[in-house]
A and B are shown apart, each in its own frame.
Chain A
């Protein structure tokens, strides 16, 4: 399959009042049919970037191309895009049908075509029986569907979504996540999706871009970001509970890796090519800290909090000034204050440079298992 580029950014930047670099020179390409997620904490510039693509914010520097043509100077309506807003931006005085058709009427699409697209979108999103209702008579999830329908009927090849699920409750959000993803795949719609929720990013995106302080931290497939985070920011941002991290130092003569001056792990120099005088940060995913057995326990830690989730148990430990979390499958009878043996396997440690925060050596990735096909 030939994949063509829909959005291309060449050293795009954005400043307000010539002062702050909200977006720092950014290069990015987004391919056709891709579900691309922009994720980052609030204030990272992700919404600004999306609004720049939409044409709602000026671009201070660089070149933005959509569908191969430069659009820096074009108003939103000439960029051939659709957009779903966080608060849905439904017109309160118009009913669902009029809301969906608003753009088509503005563009003077003929009536038969309008009706055809309306029927199609309404059917796709299950809105057939709500067409005559006003937005205030709809639930949050239904409003969300109307906003999606409005984006679909425009038939624009690029759809921008600005935190569309953040106003929904948790259950509905999980539902809509799947629904949006299926809709996108069915229509082959190139989508740029902004969210601050890393779960949404992980579950929905074909590719994720993690943004922080207006700079790209890492771009890639979700599982890649999880397994090989480019720096400490991505490492702590992706994954929940977040990755456990701590300053560490390697002492080859003692064959020890000391974390936070508190935790010493037996380390075999053969498997560890970290120079002894380098300041590093180590990180380990909560699911990789395992309950220690008599043979393989590496340390004993005091539990400061226990969260029983039913299918798994979260245990928190104090490691120096950091709080580490372990995720153990199943139900464990542990109380806060108890000391438990744990197994912290060196191969599952990520190593980052303490000065730059960049990844030196990723953890040995867990082998992806394959489903046996019958």
Chain B
């Protein structure tokens, strides 16, 4: 390092000398390159120092657990989580042949398909409505974004009451119209749908707020100009709102997709994976495997699989969809 630097210095000085006719111009002896490099090195270390706290935190809470999980996924463990026997890819092989996992995978995919488009579409409609300028619109904006302030636990309890087979409002409503009560959380046909509805409701607040922010960054002049040009309401939405909102939509869809794959709280509160494993989403399977069956090895393997699935989907999304996103 030092030697290279020294060489560089020599060549620089030599170039300077060679390029000048002797005796014509005085070249000061200061070596600018050396001083500049010194400053760069100092700045580099200064920068590292600023990064240190977050690197430390990431290392302890993210990098270490990640590598530990990968490591564990190749082992069988005892009930305390200590690796005992190295089994190679056995854990993975077992998982891919297990009917529980395959059903869980199917449920998860269905769950994602229900919740992501559902949330984004409803939030978009609400955001477009709440973006209108009129008196008292602030009230609606508050209401529409309010579920952001509700915790998963509180939201689940709230919906549990709504879903209650006898005293729940939903079934009472059905009864009012003379319909048979539905086992919202107990009927295998309905459970996944019920959980999805709960999830959509919970995610609506955040998604709505982000989309509303995106809408408000669209210049009013564009709409006024379109109005003068003779564009109708839906024409404006299709040709101006959606294209200009596309970066926000892309962000919201990516985040919702990742969140949907990681859903845990409402499953644990509402159905515990039942009935007949219909709502047994991947994270809940991981939880059961690791913390109820004490199979840390295969639990870790499942976690790795989930990680890879989410990673692939996100990469795919960036590759396929981002091209059509219009960044201003």
A interface residue numbers (CB < 8 A to B)? 54-56, 75-77, 81-83, 85, 87, 89, 91-93, 102-103, 106-107, 136, 150, 154
Of B136-144, B228-236, B264-272, B303-311, the one touching chain A: B228-236
B219 within 8 A of A: yes
Interchain CB contact under 8 A, A77 and B224: no
Name the interface residues of B192-230: CB closer than 8 Å to any CB of A.
219, 221-222, 224-230
Task: Report chain A residues within 8 Å CB of B232.
Answer: 77, 106
Given A89-B221, A91-B222, A92-B328, the answer on whether A102 and B244 have CB atoms closer than 8 Å is no
A56-B228, A106-B239, A136-B328 given. 20 additional CB < 8 A pairs? A55-B228, A56-B224, A76-B224, A76-B228, A77-B231, A81-B228, A82-B229, A83-B228, A85-B225, A89-B221, A89-B224, A89-B225, A91-B222, A91-B239, A102-B226, A103-B228, A103-B230, A103-B231, A106-B226, A106-B230
Among B230, B239, B326, B328, the residue within 8 A (CB) of A77 is B230
Tell whether B240 is near chain A: CB-to-CB under 8 Å.
Answer: yes
Q: Is the CB–CB distance between A87 and B221 below 8 Å?
A: yes
- Interface CB pairs A-B, < 8 A, 24: A54-B228, A56-B227, A76-B227, A77-B232, A82-B228, A82-B229, A83-B224, A85-B221, A85-B225, A87-B219, A89-B225, A91-B222, A91-B240, A92-B326, A92-B328, A93-B326, A102-B226, A102-B229, A102-B239, A103-B229, A106-B230, A106-B235, A136-B328, A154-B229
Are the CB atoms of A106 and B229 closer together than 8 Å? yes
Q: How far is the CB of A84 from chain B (nearest CB, A)?
A: 9
Which residue of A is nearest B224, CB measured?
A56
Q: How far is the CB of A130 from chain B (nearest CB, A)?
A: 19
Q: Could you say which residues of chain A place their CB within 8 Å of the CB of B228? A: 54-56, 76-77, 81-83, 103
In Å, the complex CA distance between A76 and B225 comes to 9
B243 contacts A by Cβ under 8 Å? yes
Please report the C-alpha to C-alpha distance between residue A93 and residue B239 in the assembled complex, in whole angstroms: 9
Shortest 4 CB-CB contacts between residues of A and residues of B:
A103-B229, A89-B221, A89-B225, A106-B231
Majority SS of interface residues in chain B? Answer: helix
If the complex has contacts A85-B221, A87-B221, are A93 and B243 also in contact, measured as CB distance less than 8 A? yes
Cα separation A55 to B223 with both chains bound (whole Å): 13
Output the nearest chain B residue to A77 by Cβ-Cβ distance: B230
Return A88 CB to nearest CB of chain B, in Å.
Answer: 8
| Cα-based distance from A55 to B225 in the complex (angstroms) | 11
- B contact set with A: CB distance below 8 Å: 219, 221-222, 224-232, 235, 239-240, 243-244, 326, 328
* Alpha-carbon distance A158/B291, docked complex (angstroms): 74
Residues of chain B lying within 8 A (CB to CB) of residue A54: 224, 228
Which chain B residue lies CB-closest to A160?
B228
User: Which residue of B224, B227, B244 contacts A92 across the interface (Cβ within 8 Å)?
Assistant: B244
CB distance from A82 to the nearest CB of B (A): 7
Please, which residue of chain A has its CB at the minimum distance from the CB of B222?
A89
B328 proximity list for chain A (CB < 8 A): 92, 136
A56 to B227, CA, bound (A): 9
The smallest C-beta distance from B134 to any residue of chain A, in angstroms, reads 13
Q: With a CB–CB cut-off of 8 A, which chain B residues contact A83?
A: 224-225, 228
Q: What residue of chain A has the Cβ atom nearest to residue B231's Cβ?
A: A106
The interface residues of chain B lying within 8 Å CB-to-CB of A56 are: 224, 227-228
Given A92-B326, A92-B328, A93-B326, A85-B224 contact (CB < 8 Å): yes
Alpha-carbon separation in the docked complex, A89 to B222 (Å): 5
In whole Å, how far is B7's beta carbon from the nearest beta carbon of chain A?
Answer: 45
In the complex, which residues of chain B have a beta carbon less than 8 angstroms from the beta carbon of A75? 227
Q: A residues within 8 A CB of B226?
A: 102-103, 106
- List residues of chain B with CB within 8 A of the CB of A81: 228
Residue of B whose beta carbon sits closest to that of A86: B221
A102 near B231 (CB under 8 angstroms)? yes
CB distance from B243 to the nearest CB of A (A): 4
For residue A24, give the distance in angstroms from its CB to the closest CB of chain B: 25
Expressed in whole angstroms, the Cα–Cα distance for A44 and B229 within the complex equals 27
Interface centre among B228, B232, B239, B240 (most CB of A within 10 A): B228
CB distance from A52 to the nearest CB of B (A): 13
B225 proximity list for chain A (CB < 8 A) = 83, 85, 89, 150
Give the contacting residue for B244; candidates A55, A85, A93, A106; CB below 8 A: A93
CA distance A75 to B226 in the complex (A): 12
Q: Nearest A residue to B328 by beta-carbon distance?
A: A92
CA distance A92 to B222 in the complex (A): 9
In the complex, what distance in Å separates the CA atom of A150 from the CA atom of B226?
A: 11
Complex-state Cα separation, A305 to B235, whole angstroms: 59
Contact B230 A107 (CB under 8 A): yes
* A83→B227 CA distance, assembly (Å): 10
Question: In the complex, A324 Cα to B244 Cα: how many Å?
Answer: 53
In angstroms, how far is the closest chain B Cβ from the Cβ of A134?
9
Q: A220 vs B229: C-alpha distance in the bound complex, in angstroms?
A: 31
B230 to chain A, nearest CB (A): 4
Q: Which residues of A contact B244 (CB under 8 A)?
A: 92-93
Assembly CA distance A92 to B240 (angstroms): 9
With the chains together, A87 CA to B219 CA distance in Å? 10
Give Cα distance in the complex from A136 to B235, angstroms: 23
Known: A56-B224, A89-B219, A93-B326. A77 touches B229 (CB 8 A): yes
A102 vs B227: C-alpha distance when bound (angstroms): 11
CB neighbours (8 Å) of A82 from chain B are 228-229
Per the bound structure, the CA–CA distance linking A87 and B225 in Å amounts to: 11
Chain A residues lying within 8 Å of B230, measured Cβ to Cβ, are 77, 103, 106-107, 154
Report B-chain residues with C-beta under 8 Å of the C-beta of A87: 219, 221
